[in-house]
Structures are given as structure tokens and as C-alpha cells.
Structure 1
Amino acid sequence: MNNSITNRVWVTGASSGLGLALVEQLLEQGSRVAASGRACELLQDLSRQYPESLLLLDGNLSEPYAAQEAARQITDHWGALDCLILNAGTCDYLAIDTPAPAIFEGIVSSNLSATRHCLESAWPLLQHDNPPQVVGILSRYSVLQLDDPGQPATVDNSLIQLLNSQRAALAAQAIDLTIIAPLDLKFAQVSEQVAPEQWTAHTAAEVILDRLPDRPANLVLEALHLNDLWPLPR
């Protein structure tokens, strides 16, 4: 991977599954990583292993002040970002006892808010020397539409719509946007059929990081077992 593209990376949803695997592999490749997610033993272990390269950011990013504080800490440590990876597959901060019917609504709602706040907070950090990149990673959970799915998708009820709405503004600042999501049957992201695969968090992270230097506008990620990549609250 070309570390000049992702030398300073902010990864959200980093405490388990795909987010944690992305943090691990980025550190192995020599990147400096800010990891947002619920505090966990595995992140603490990585922090001890990479004390100069890993910045742990604990805070519920669906709250604007948490995203602002995360950006402030990144500014204090590195002064800028080369890449923002919004791993919006699930939600680290859903309560363990959240009723099953409310889990998916909570995932979509919290990721809509977190994505909006992180983009706003990270924007000034991305406008520096290296051509920066924003990456949005969505799962079958977070790609769902809030409220009545029969209604038109808007920036207030659809995460993929929110990300796409930012593409032109990001491009105007020479910031590339890559959206990684399951195949959308309404709006074809790619021309060929994509079959679900037996991805693990490690293999999915490896392929994603291998593809990002090409800066594709869209990538399709279809997983057979979503809980391997984005564990739901137990």
C-alpha cells in the first residue's frame, strides 16, 4: 500500500471486526492511526505495541462534541489527516440491552449523525499537502433507510445518500471519496454481478487497503456473515 496516501489515518468503528482489522494492518504498514471506538483490550494492546503510531479516541461520535474533540486531538498530534475511514457498519455505542427491533434503527441513526459530525470536524484536517481521501464503509445494517423505505432517500434518512451528497464538495477541495457498500439494486455501483463471499475481517481489510490507492469512486463489499465484519451488540 502507498503510505504517502494514508500516512495519517482516522478510522471510526475501530474496536472490533473490520474496523479493528483496518487499524492493525495500517499500523503494520507504517501508518499513523487515530482509532475511534469503545475502549477495548485489543486496542490497548495495539497502543502498547505502537505507542508512537496509535492514537486512541474514545467517544460517541454521534455527539458533535465527541467528533470535535477527536479532531482536536488529531490536530494536536499530527496537524493534518491524509485519510478518513468512516467504518459505519454497526455502532460501538449501542447499549448491550438494546431491544432487537431498535438495533437496526439505532445503527442507521447513529451512523448518519457520526458521519455528518466526522466529516465536518475532519474537513479542515484533510486540506493539506498530500491528496486526501475519505472512505465510507457501509454494511447491510447501516445501508438501510430510516423510517418508511418507500419514501425517497435523502441525506436525513440514508447514509449512502449523505455520503454521495458530499462528493462534489469534497472533489472541489481535491478530496477523493470512496464508498464501499453492499450492492445497491436501485443504483448500480459496478457493471458486473458481485456474489457474497466468505470474508473475514482480516481478508476484507487487506483487500480494501490494497484497493484504496487506486481511489475508486465505489467498491462493492458483499459478505456472507456480516457479524464477522461488524459484530452486533450482544
Structure 2
Amino acid sequence: MSKVRILVIVPAYNEEGNLGPLLLKLREHDIDIVVINDCSTDKTIEICKQHSVEFIDLPNNLGIGGAVQTGYQFAANNNYDIAIQIDGDGQHNPEYIPNIIEPIIAQKADLVIGSRYISKEGFQSSFVRRIGIRHFSHLIKLLLKQTITDPTSGFRACNKSLIHFFAKKYPSDYPEPETIVTLLRNKRRVIEVPVIMNSRENGESSINKIKAVYYMIKVSLAILIDFFRVSNKEIA
């Protein structure tokens, strides 16, 4: 059996204080890395060059959804078997990469989510975000009868089939909960594995309290619209 080709997609927007240490940790694993620079105004590109990491320099700020989809397009075009998302803010610990990809390699899952709420250790996110996380968890349980404890987690991995699907279709804002609903609605296997996340050491999140409420409402509506769509055969 040929070697499984694995790509780590790192979306980054002004994360110069966190990106270098993250890339050092990722280099400890035998996997390829691509940083998607979402039109940062800091030294993101210089850091990528210092660490000899491949990067895509977006000419315009696309937001998290557009940046991650660019990574999936890169993965699809370069025939990767597994793609892993890891945020550029340093909150996701690369030591859990083997745990994230194992169910995919064993063909037990199509998407694997790293959840901080299984073992409930480490950084548990801010109060406002925890409210949003619980809201989306309850909504997914209500609609699709599956418990997802950490539906907003950006620490996730998927197989080749989903790489190609996400390369063509990926939500623009706060995409994680919406993609989970789409996959479950299409009878794809979504599971969680426990991880411990870190708190942000440098910089500030682009999502403040007002944006968090806005996204919670917007994404909830998108989830409901997606759930009640007639077609149920979107993913090959």
C-alpha cells in the first residue's frame, strides 16, 4: 500500500506571534504543510519563508471560510489523501494529529473533529463562545440526532472524498457547524476525538462579542436552510 499523503492546512491572518512556534511543532510530524495567508499585514510571509513552509498569499482577505477552502483546493489539486485543519493562532496542539487522522486511515470516519469537551481539560474557550458552542451542539442534536460536543472546533481532518467536496463548496463565515450539518445530512461519518487545546498567547481573535452573536444567528439560519433542503445527495 502506498504512503498516505497528508496535508496540514493553516489559515492565518496576522498571527505572526503564534505562527512560528506552531510551524516548529508541525515540523516534528512527517506531513506536508501549507499556510494560507489571508491578506495579513504582519510578517506572516516572512515567517513561512524562515521555516521553509509552502504558503499561498491571498490578494484579498477572504475570511476563514475562503482561506480554508483555498487550502482544500490546494489539497485536491495535489492529490492528498487526508487534509487537516489547524488554526494559525496556536490553540491547536499538533501532538494530537495522530489521534485525529487514525480513524480516517482506519476508514472509520470521513471527518474527525478534535473536541476539547470530551476530556474537558485545557483551555475551554471564552464564556461567550461556550454559549455559542452549546447552542450549535443542541441544534445539531435536535436536527440530526447526533451529539457533537465541539461543533465550532477548527481542529479537524477529512478524507479525500471530503477534500474534493470542500474544494468546491465551503461556507464563508464560521463554517465548522454548517459543514457538520451538511455531512450528517448526507449520511457521512463524523466523529470526535478528545484533544487539549491551548489559550491564545499572542494577538486577539477577530471575533468579538458582537460578532459572536451575529455569527450565531447567521449560522443557525444557514444550518436550518441546509437541513430543510430537498436534495440529500450533494456529496459523491
Structure 1 length-normalised TM: 0.40
Structure 2 length-normalised TM: 0.40
